[in-house]
Amino acid sequence: MSDIRQILDMNAFDASKGTTGKVQRRLDNLGAASVLFYRQPIEMISAQGAWMQAADGTRYLDFYNNVPSVGHSHPEVVRPISEQIARLNTNTRYLVGVVDEYLEALKARLPEPLSNVMLTCSGSEANDLALRVAFAATGARGVIVTQTAYHGNTALVTDVSPSAMKRGAPPDWVETVPAPGSAAYGDDIAGGFAQAVTEAMARLTARGHGVAALLVDSIFSSDGVFADPPGFLRAAAKAVQAAGGLLIADEVQPGFGRTGGGFWGFERHGVAPDIVTMGKPMGNGFPMAGMAARPAHLQSFCAETGYFNTFGGNPVAAAAGLAVLRVIEAEGLQHNAARIGAQLMQGLQTIAKGSERVGQLRGAGLFLGVDLIRDGAPDPAFTTQVIDAMRASGVLIGAAGRYGATLKLRPPLCLDAAEAAQFLDAFERAVSG
Ligand SMILES: Cc1ncc(COP(=O)(O)O)c(C=O)c1O
C-alpha cells in the first residue's frame, strides 16, 4: 500500500534539489513554508473565465482553483470591489449599508435557524471560531473529523486537520473516522459511517471530553471527494446531535453552488447543521469567509470571550460577496455546475471503461474525484505523471486523498461544454500515455 500523503505535499515543487532564478527568489522570501505547484513552477500573469495566462505565453485551462469560482477576474465582481474600495473601507464597528445588505442576501441562502453570521478573512478563522462556539455551547471538548480532513491553519484548527500533520497524531480530544467511501464501509456507507462516528463519540466520552462536534467538509475534498449515496451523512449527524454535539458543516470547498444539486454541499445529505462555515469561493478571490450559527450558540461563546475581527466583514468584502451571489444567480452557475459536471462525469465514465489505470469516479456537480490506480491500488506516482501530462496539454489540476492518488476536478463554475470536452481529451491522452 502507498504511503500516506500530506495535503500540501501533493504536486509540490521539491526545493530540496536546489534551484535558481525566480524560484530561488521565492524560496528566499518565503523560506521553509513556501509551497509551489509543479516540479517546474509556473509564473502566472493574468486570468479570465476558466483560463490562466502564464508569463511564457501559455494559456492554461484551470481545473484546480476553487476560489475564482464564478470565473477569474469576473467584471461584475471586479467593478463593485473597485467602486467600494474607492468610496469606503472600514471595520464592522460602524454601520455601513452594504454589509447588512450582504448578510441578508447570504442568510436568505442559509437554513433559517442559522441567523447570526460572523464574517472572517479565511476559512481557517471561520472554523476556529466554529470550534470555539461549539465548545462554549456544549460545554464539551471532543471533536470528530475524517482521517484525511483539512480544515485550516490556526493552532486549534490544525489539531483537527490530520492531513496537515507531518508528524504525530491529533490530540486526545480529537477522534478521526475513515472517509465515507466504499473502501472503508463497503455497501453501507451511511450505516458504516454512523457506526464509526458513534464509536468515536464513545471513546471521547470515555476519555472525559464529551462530544462538542462532528466537523465535516460536506464534499470530503481532502479525503478524496465523497458524495454518494446522497443522504449518507444523515445517520451520523443524527447520532451526534442526539448526544448533544453540534454538526459543523465546513462549506469552504463545496459551498456556493459547486455541487450543482444544492447551494451548499450539506443539502445533498438532508442534514440540518448547527454551524456552517464558508470561505474560498465566497468573494471570488477577495479574501473573505464566514461562520453562520444559531443566536443562542453564539451568545454562549460571547458570554465567555469577546470577538472582533478587524478585516472580517469589511465593506469591500461585502461588496465582493454580494456580487458573487448575484453572478451565481444571474448566470445560472449552480445549474451550469450540475449540467457540465454531468457531462464531465459521463466522459470520465467512458474513459474509465477503457483504462485499467482509472479507478472509482466520485463527486457532484463541478467537484469530482478520480482515483488513479495500478493493479487496483492507489498510484500516487502515476497521479503525478498524469498531473504533469495534463499541464503539458494546458490543463491545471491537483490531487487529494489519503494516498495522493485522487485527481480533484474543481474548475470555475462558468466552465462551458467545449472546455469540458477539452479537459476530457487531455485526460484521456494523459492516462493512456
Ligand atoms: C475544507 C476546508 N476548510 C477550511 C479551509 C481553510 O481555508 P483557508 O485556507 O481560507 O484558511 C480549507 C482550505 O483549503 C478547506 O479546504
Q: Quick one: what percent of the chain has pLDDT higher than 90?
A: 91
CA 79 remoteness from chain centre: 26
Closest atom of ligand 1 to CA, residue 124: 11
Residue 15 has a pLDDT of 75
Which of 119, 151, 220 maximizes ligand 1 atoms within 8 Å of its Cβ, making it the mutation to test the pocket? 151
**Ligand 1 centroid from CA 75, angstroms:** 25
224 C-alpha to ligand 1 centroid (Å): 15
Does residue 149 surpass a pLDDT of 80?
yes
Distance 338 CA to ligand 1 centre (A): 23
Pocket probe for ligand 1: among 7, 119, 124, 248, the residue whose CB has the most ligand atoms within 8 Å is 124
In terms of pTM, does the model score above 0.95? yes
Kindly report the protein residue whose alpha carbon is nearest to atom 13 of ligand 1. Answer: 152
CB 213 within 8 A of CB 247: yes
CA–centroid distance, 163 to ligand 1, in Å, is 12
- Report, as an integer, the average pLDDT of 274-295: 98
Which atom of ligand 1 approaches the CA of 287 most closely?
Answer: 10
Nearest CA to ligand 1 atom 7: 123
Residue 3 has a pLDDT of 75
Distance 418 CA to ligand 1 centre (A): 30
Residues in contact with 317: Cβ distance below 8 Å, sequence separation at least 6, in sequence order = 119, 121, 283, 286, 287, 288, 311
Nearest-atom number in ligand 1 for the CA of 125 is 11
Ligand 1: atom nearest CA of 152 is 6
Per-residue pLDDT tens over the stretch 289-325: 999 999 999 999 999 999 999 999 999 999 999 999 9
CA distance 423 to 260: 19
Residue 425 has pLDDT above 90, yes or no: yes
Scanning the structure block, which residue is given the C-alpha cell 473516522?
A: 177
What DSSP character marks residue 147? T
Tell me the average pLDDT of the chain.
Answer: 96
CA–centroid distance, 216 to ligand 1, in Å, is 12
Q: How far is the CA of 124 from the centre of ligand 1 (A)?
A: 6
Q: What is the DSSP string of 166-180?
A: SSS---TTEEEE--S
SS3 372: strand
**Confidence class for position 16, pLDDT limits 50, 70, 90:** confident
Matching residue, cell 483537527: 160
- The stretch 156-165 carries a mean pLDDT of 97
The CB density around residue 310, as the number of other CB atoms within 10 Å, is: 11
Query: Which residues form ligand 1's pocket by a CB distance below 6 Å?
Result: 122-124, 127, 150-153, 217, 221, 250, 252-253, 279, 289
For the chain, the maximum distance between any two Cα atoms, rounded to a whole number of angstroms, is 61
Residue 12 alpha carbon to ligand 1 centre in Å: 18
Q: For ligand 1, what atom is nearest to the CA of residue 217?
A: 1
Averaged pLDDT, 6-13? 75
Looking at residue 33, its pLDDT comes to 87
Q: What confidence tier does 2 reach under pLDDT thresholds 50, 70, 90?
A: low
Q: Which atom of ligand 1 has the smallest separation from the CA of 280?
A: 10
The answer on pLDDT for 407 being more than 90 is yes
Tens-digit pLDDT profile for residues 337-373: 999 999 999 999 999 999 999 999 999 999 999 999 9
Rounded mean pLDDT, 23-42: 90
pLDDT tens per residue across span 40-80: 899 999 999 999 999 999 999 999 999 999 999 999 999 99
Across 391-399, average pLDDT = 97
Q: What is the pLDDT of residue 35?
A: 87
- Measured in Å, residue 150 CA sits from the centre of ligand 1 at 7
Q: Residue 5's pLDDT is what?
A: 73
Q: Which ligand 1 atom is the nearest neighbour of the CA of 289?
A: 10
Give the span between the Cα atoms of 221 and 217, in whole angstroms: 7
Which residue, by CA, sits nearest to atom 8 of ligand 1? 123
Q: Among 150, 153, 277, which is best to mutate for testing ligand 1, by the most ligand atoms less than 8 A from CB? A: 150
Q: How far is CA 38 from CA 11, 123, 362, in A?
A: 5, 25, 24
Is residue 6 over pLDDT 80?
A: no
The region that residue 404 occupies, defined by phi over 0 for left and psi between -120 and 50 for alpha, beta otherwise, is: left
pLDDT at site 13: 80
Q: Which atom of ligand 1 is nearest the CA belonging to 122?
A: 10
Instruction: Count Cβ neighbours within 10 Å for each residue of 376-392 and write b for 16 or more, e otherwise.
Output: eebbbebbbbbbebbbe
Beta bridge mates, 53: 46, 59
Q: Are 234 and 270 in contact (CB under 8 A)?
A: yes
Listed residue (375, 369, 384) closest to 357, CA to CA: 375
Q: How many angstroms separate the alpha carbon of residue 157 from the centre of ligand 1?
A: 10
Sign of CA dihedral 80, 105, 334, 392: positive
Locate 404 and state its grid cell.
495522493
> How many distinct helices (H) and strands (E) make up the chain?
13, 16
Decide if 425 contacts 78 (C-beta within 8 A). Answer: no
